[in-house]
Amino acid sequence: MQARGKSFLIARAGCFIALTAGLVSLLSGPGTSYGLWDYRTGISVLRWAAYGGVAAAALSLIGLIASLRIVIVKGFLWALLGVIVGGFPAGLMLHWKQVAESVPGIHDITTDTASPPEFVAILRFRKSDENSPAYGERKWPSGN
């Protein structure tokens, strides 16, 4: 196959993978909301869409460079679209990861730092012990 055809094929493949990753990332939230899967699966779907976006952006970048070298306009446009769309789920997941790491866990918040309230009523609804309801050893910040 000629170099021209290969670069066009690489660019289109990268764009196709990027579009697929973008669509999957957009469906992860509604799938959770409509009960098609639980939130852990939704987060996993989003994570794999981000991995697909990174792979698509890298493949599209290769196609972009190859199409510039051979001056193929169609390949350039497919590759550019693949880089942009592939970067979307990857950037989205990276942003949400940074936000999640910058705030306390949702079950680790209290207004009474001297004697945090114990969970009582909610314990009977818990199905697993993956996250302990007990407060961990923590140095609470002093109040003003």
Task: Summarize pLDDT for 72-101 with one digit per residue, the tens.
Answer: 677 788 888 888 888 888 888 889 889 988
Contact 135, 118 (CB under 8 A): no
Q: Is the pLDDT of residue 142 over 60?
A: no
* Structure tokens that stand for 29 in this block: 């939230």
Which residue in 32, 56, 54, 59 sits closest to 45, CA to CA?
A: 32
Q: Is the pLDDT of residue 134 over 70?
A: no
Contact 42, 31 (CB under 8 A): yes
Q: Is the pLDDT of residue 119 over 90?
A: no
pLDDT value of position 30: 93
Measure the CA–CA gap between 108 and 143, rounded to whole angstroms.
17
Q: What mean pLDDT do residues 41-57 have?
A: 91
Q: Is the pLDDT of residue 109 over 70?
A: no
Q: What mean pLDDT do residues 2-25 have?
A: 83
| HEC sequence for 54-95 | HHHHHHHHHHHHHHHHHCCHHHHHHHHHHHHHHHHHHHHHHH
Q: Is the pLDDT of residue 38 over 70?
A: yes
